[in-house]
Structure formats: structure tokens, C-alpha cells
Amino acid sequence: MKIAIGNDHAGKLLKDETVVYLKQHDIEVLNVGTDTEDDVDYPDYAIKVAELVTNQTVDLGILICGTGIGMSIAANKVKGIRAANIYDKQTAMLAKKHNFANVITFGARTHTKEQVYQLLDTFLHTEFESRHLKRIDKIKEIEE
């Protein structure tokens, strides 16, 4: 599995910690986030990850900002992206099972490293339920 990860200045530290988790789990990581804490604009990183997902360079995108909210709003503007701001075990599970999220977002100001590791455990080990495909198709119709 290959994952692209992007972040703004607020998400820099949590990004580094998330990369550690991904590498420990033998996941190939493409880091396109900022590597300093100098102010940047999160949409610039959301688009980078979103495009790597839609052109199928990677299997999944992870975006980290202060809350994960701005990143999910920006990423969801890109056709084909289903970005979900996951924040507990249930949303981590359902974002995959029902929504087939292809980008997940985290908040460095709202989640600890330990919480993010648990959310990744849940999301990555949950399967999409195909009975929800007709709803995904309706989202695609909205995009057209």
C-alpha cells in the first residue's frame, strides 16, 4: 500500500509521528507536506495529496492541519475525492465501510499521536461494504 501525506505548519509534528506509524507498518509513504513550522496555506497541500489520489499514484491520502477540517473542505473540492475528517473509532470505521473515503484528515490540535495511531488501525483494517456503492455513485453524479 502507498499513501501520500500532506500537512500545513500546524500539522508538521503530527505528520512526522504519523509517518513513523506508516513506515512501521510497511506502508510506502509519499510526503508532500511542509517540513517546517513556517506559516503556509493548507489548500496548497490538500490539492497535492488529492491529485496523487485521483491520478492513482497512491492508494490513500492523509492530510493534517490544525483540526483536519480545512484540509477536508479543500480536498473535497477535487473531483473524485471523498475526504473524511475522522475523530473517533466509529467515524474511522464508517468512513471506510460506508463512505469509502480515499482521503482521511486529522487535526494536530484535536488529536494526540496515540489517538491517530488507533484511528489508522481501525480505518486501514476496515473493508468497504459494497451495498453502499449506489450512494458513492450518486456522489459521482453530483460531480458531473
Binding site for ligand RB5 (CB under 6 A): 8, 10, 42, 65-67, 69-70
Closest to ligand RB5 by CB, 33 vs 70, is 70
Closest to ligand RB5 by CB, 91 vs 100, is 91
Alpha-carbon distances of 113 from 42, 108, 118, rounded to whole Å: 20, 8, 9
CB of 65 to ligand RB5, least distance (A): 3
CB of 38 to ligand RB5, least distance (A): 12
Q: Using CB atoms, what's the residue nearest to ligand RB5?
A: 70
CB of 100 to ligand RB5, least distance (A): 23
C-alpha triplet 80, 137, 95: angle, nearest 5°:
65
Known catalytic residue at 98: yes
Alpha helices in 10-132 (DSSP H): 12-24, 42-54, 69-75, 89-97, 113-124
Closest to ligand RB5 by CB, 29 vs 69, is 69
C-alpha triplet 58, 62, 68: angle, nearest 5°:
155
Residues recognised as catalytic: 98
